[in-house]
């Protein structure tokens, strides 16, 4: 990883998907504060919770890629923080529509528009061979994005995300309350991590001009997040 002092780059124009979620909200706030980002385009169903001169919102269901293609023009970085749960989605098909199809469609549009960087929130345990639908879907997403051959692709695989959600996720809520009782049993690569740390790691990673694919687990996310100047 580069030292913070080597990361000064021209300002970026970024597109943010999933800005209403834990990581997305934190990343939006960091982009607003960053002097490395001059414009943030939020693409989604609902308006962001605040206004700012850097911020622009375009309504989209993210279900009709053809209508969204123009939004990816002249974008320097795409951050994808889309995600739901099987319980909230109501079915495996509905879950995959968000966690697989929307993410892969965004990747295709970004690649077609020549966006050089795509950063996405995946998950610890992402594996196409997993018996768990969630982990298997995340693995399939990663494989699909790799095949697009971005100049730079960054996959972030956090464990349990810590933070205050606006929506109710009972199982995750219980896990957050009790994670200190069992988190020490997990390898550091799968440990719980604050959503703000994931957001910080994503922003800092996006400022680099390296090429290729990077995969960040929870341990690496925490390390990278700690390098972001406060």
Residue 92 phi/psi, 5-degree rounding, is -65, -40
Please, what is the Cα angle at 190 between 187 and 196, to 5 degrees?
Answer: 130
Known catalytic residues? 134, 138
Q: Please tell me what DSSP assigns to residue 207.
A: T
| H or E, element range at 180 | helix 170-182
209, 8 contact by CB (below 8 A): no
Residues 6+ apart with CB under 8 A from 217: 124, 157, 158, 188, 189, 190
Q: Is 73 exposed, middle or buried (0-12, 13-18, 19+ CB in 10 A)?
A: exposed
**DSSP assignments along 32-61, one per residue:** HH-TTEEEEEEEESS--SS--TTEEEEE--
Please, what is the Cα angle at 60 between 75 and 57, to 5 degrees?
Answer: 55
228, 200 contact by CB (below 8 A): yes
């Amino acid at each position: 990883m580069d030292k913070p002092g080597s990361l000064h780059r021209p300002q970026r124009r970024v597109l943010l998907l999933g800005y209403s979620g834990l990581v997305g909200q934190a990343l939006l706030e960091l982009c607003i504060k960053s002097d490395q980002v001059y414009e943030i385009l939020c693409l989604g169903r609902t308006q962001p919770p605040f206004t700012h001169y850097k911020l622009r919102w375009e309504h989209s269901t993210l279900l009709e890629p053809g209508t969204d293609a123009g939004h990816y023009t002249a974008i320097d970085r795409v951050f994808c923080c889309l995600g739901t749960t099987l319980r909230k989605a109501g079915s495996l098909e509905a879950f995959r529509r968000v966690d697989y199809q929307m993410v892969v469609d965004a990747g295709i549009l970004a690649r077609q528009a020549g966006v050089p960087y795509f950063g996405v929130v995946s998950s610890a345990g992402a594996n196409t061979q997993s018996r768990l639908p969630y982990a298997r879907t995340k693995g399939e997403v990663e494989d699909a994005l790799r095949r697009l051959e971005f100049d730079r692709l960054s996959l972030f695989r956090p464990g349990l995300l810590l933070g205050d959600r606006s929506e109710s996720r009972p199982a995750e809520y219980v896990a957050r309350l009790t994670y200190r009782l069992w988190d020490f049993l997990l390898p550091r690569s799968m440990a719980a991590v604050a959503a703000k740390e994931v957001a910080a790691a994503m922003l800092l990673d996006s400022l680099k001009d390296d090429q290729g694919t990077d995969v960040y687990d929870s341990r690496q996310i925490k390390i990278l997040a700690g390098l972001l100047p406060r």
